[in-house]
Amino acid sequence: MSHPLPSRERPSGSVHGPCTAVRRVLYLTTPIYYVNATPHLGHAYTTIVADAMCRYHRLAGHEVFFLTGTDEHGDKIAQAAGKTAEMPQAFVDRNSAAFRAQWDALGITYDDFIRTTEPRHQAVVQAVLQRLWDKGDEIYFGKYGGQYCVGCERFYTEKEIVDGQCPDHQTPLQHIEEENYFFRMSKYQEWLRRELEAHPDRVRPERYRNELLGFLREPLEDLCISRPRARLEWGIPLPFDDRFVTYVWFDALLNYVSALGPLGSERFETLWPHVEHVIGKDILKPHGVYWPCMLKAAGLPVYRRLNVHGYWSLGGGKMSKSVGNVVEALALTEKYGHDAFRYFLMREMPFGLDASFSEEALVGRLNADLANDLGNLVARATTLIGTARGGVVPAPGPGTDAEARVQVALARTRAEVDQAMEEFAFHRALGAIWELLGVLNRYVDATQPWALVRAPDAASRLDTILYTLAEALRCLGILLAPFVPSAAARIRQALGQSGEPRLGDVEWGRLAAGTRVERLSGLFPRVDERRPASAPPEVAAPATARISIDEFRRLDLRVGEVLDAERVPKSKKLLRLTVQVGDETRTVVAGIAEHYAPEALRGRKVVVVANLEPATLMGISSNGMVLAGEAGGTLALLMLDRDLPPGARIR
């Protein structure tokens, strides 16, 4: 399945709808992925959140253009191709097709898939280079020597090198000295700093804007934008000197423009003002520094927004193909279903922060959130309508406070989802929908509709309850569509809703009495949970037992900053904390919910036992423990009486 500009999303050239209202437009891009490996969890995350965002905007009636693709030039690709018997073009064709097939299998609704080896892309790269060359002062020829990492395709400065090696790949660097063309990026340093100051929401979350401002406090060097063909053939020749090919980042970033057609095309004019990029934090510098400078120099407007997400790790380490710690997205999506996989990724990782991935945690969420909270509600409600009213939605009788609460909760959820999606906060949008599910499940428990089925004088009350449930499910079938599209479609279908869902229909009372409802059970079948990691038995040390200083030193106690805190669903005691410890962001589940409100903890510095074995609590993998004292029912978290940075050691 591919999406070569389906007519429904085809940019019309006009952003005005049929009436007077201006139609909102979103042009959203993912990074283009290197084809020296097959897709993995990290790529899948970026692509899935971008897909959910596009689906949400389409649901809201906005005009959407969603771009993804593959990055196919450069040293890294040439070397990977060199290790196979294939010619580079055949190699990139095969690997690019694997990305495309992966996104198709996951149901990603991209509108265009760009490849940097396509003529349409090469033409734009050469046109931009020529434009800069013709301006006279943007590109110059010079000599450069430095330490180069093939994996990163860049030179490293002395300051960045760790033990003589690439800090990312931990591999030796090569000293390379050669003549090349340079883009005079340094002259845009001050302009870029002012841009970032003037547009606080251009890069979000804010921590990444701050990181960019941090880079810009150091002198910005010019960017080497060519590679001699004597060393590297696999690239786009410079239009003004074909002894050189274009540096892969200069080539790759332009995909966002080349996908729209030749410079100055109508589609460019329509879509470019609305462009937003989604990237992982690993490629912040090229997108946050090189790219705006390139655009400025080429006389093109800077993108509207850069949305930066954190990194998934597996068991603590940074996970990427280069460090050999790869998860094949396909394997787990096939095992647990695409919707469950999407849900887990978006719910588990607060956008912008790091998170750790585990199959156990995925199964935990699948069972608790999807099978229990959602699947059971859908099964209970549709079954009841089947049994009690022959599968037909009754007209509601008079409502009570209980129904009013459901309606208020729905309106609140709708508003919170809008707000969260506006801020790229997928986990909050899902959190809001699950709050509504909580309200609905409590409504069913409190109103006990099954007890009313055989009570003749309760018919009107039962009608009201069944209508309320059916109407709430209809709205959920719309609200859930961006996140769990297949399950949402099944809910809508069970509720007799055909046609494209529209966010505007999340409005109480639109469900017509008389609508036929089908029974829908097993929306998310439960998965047998693996035995959770067993918690060590709690044995209080006798007061007289002493430990040596060496034993004490085995504890790695650190300052942790609480970035986020939320209640663990279905648990009275547990809070799930996202804690920054040094460079790492960890999830720590703490039994403090009865003593601290989540919002009171955000931004606080606590004491973390950093070398505790991870344990799974309520399906959540907890990595560390926060220290607290307790006496007479009062619990007090250990905090610092002076400020220290997260990660500082406590002795």
Catalytic center residues: 40, 43, 149, 152, 166, 169, 318, 321
According to CB under 6 A, which one of 80, 105, 283, 625 is a site residue for ligand MSP?
A: 283
Nearer to ligand MSP, 258 or 376 (CB): 258
Closest CB to ligand MSP among residues 358, 497: 358
Residue 591 Cα distances to 548, 573, 627, angstroms: 29, 5, 11
Rounded distance between C-alpha atoms, residue 584 and residue 28, angstroms: 29
For the bound state, the minimum distance from the C-beta of residue 253 to ligand MSP, rounded and expressed in Å, comes to 5
Residues 312-371 that bind ligand MSP (CB under 6 A): 312, 319-320
For the chain, how far is it from start to end, CA to CA, in angstroms?
58
DSSP state at residue 288: I
Task: Give, as ranges, the residues between 66 and 95 that touch ligand MSP (CB under 6 A).
Answer: 71
The reply to whether 32 sits near ligand MSP by the rule CB under 6 A is yes
Task: Pick the piece of the chain touching ligand MSP (CB under 6 A) from 26-34, 214-222, 268-276, 463-471.
Answer: 26-34
The separation between CA 314 and the C-alpha centre of its own chain, rounded to angstroms, equals 16
Q: Find where tokens 């790219």 sit.
A: 291
Report the C-alpha gap between 260 and 501 in whole angstroms. 28
Residue 184 Cβ vs ligand MSP, minimum distance, rounded to whole Å: 21
Residue 621: both structure tokens together: 């993998």
With respect to ligand MSP, which residue has the nearer C-beta, 46 or 126?
Answer: 46
Q: Which is nearer to ligand MSP, 279 or 362 (CB)?
A: 279
Q: In terms of C-beta density within 10 A (0-12 exposed, 13-18 middle, 19 or more buried), how is residue 139 classed? A: buried
Residues linked to residue 71 through DSSP beta bridges, in sequence order: 34
Query: Smallest distance from the beta carbon of 194 to ligand MSP, in angstroms?
Result: 24
Give the x/- contact pattern for ligand MSP in 482-511, rule: CB under 6 A: ------------------------------
Q: According to the binding rule CB under 6 A, does residue 236 interact with ligand MSP?
A: no
* Least CB distance to ligand MSP at residue 216 (A): 20
Nearer to ligand MSP, 43 or 605 (CB): 43
Can you state the angle between helices 206-215 and 189-198, rounded to 10 degrees? 160
Stretch that binds ligand MSP, among 31-39, 60-68, 192-200, 377-385 (CB under 6 A): 31-39
Give the one residue of 34, 208, 272, 424 binding ligand MSP; rule: CB under 6 A: 34
Closer to ligand MSP by CB, 152 or 574: give it.
152
Decide if residue 311 touches ligand MSP (CB under 6 A).
yes
Concatenated DSSP letters of 69-128 = EEE--SHHHHHHHHTSSS-HHHHHHHHHHHHHHHHHHTT---SEEEETTSHHHHHHHHHH
**Beta-bridge partner residues of 34:** 71
Our finding on whether 45 is near ligand MSP (CB under 6 A) is: yes
Task: Detail the DSSP E strand segments found in 274-348.
Answer: 275-280, 305-309, 312-314, 317-318
Closest approach of Cβ 351 to ligand MSP, in Å? 11
43 lies in the site for ligand MSP, by CB under 6 A: yes
Distances, alpha carbon 419 to alpha carbons 310, 415, 441, 524, in Å: 21, 6, 24, 28
Q: Residue 620 pairs with which residues in a beta bridge?
A: 617
Binding mask 241-280 for ligand MSP (x = CB under 6 A): -----------xx-x-----------------------xx
Dihedral sign, CA of 370, 373, 374, 380? positive
CA distance 598 to 311: 24
> What does the binding site for ligand MSP look like in residue numbers (CB under 6 A)?
31-34, 42-43, 45-46, 71, 252-253, 255, 279-280, 282-283, 311-312, 319-320
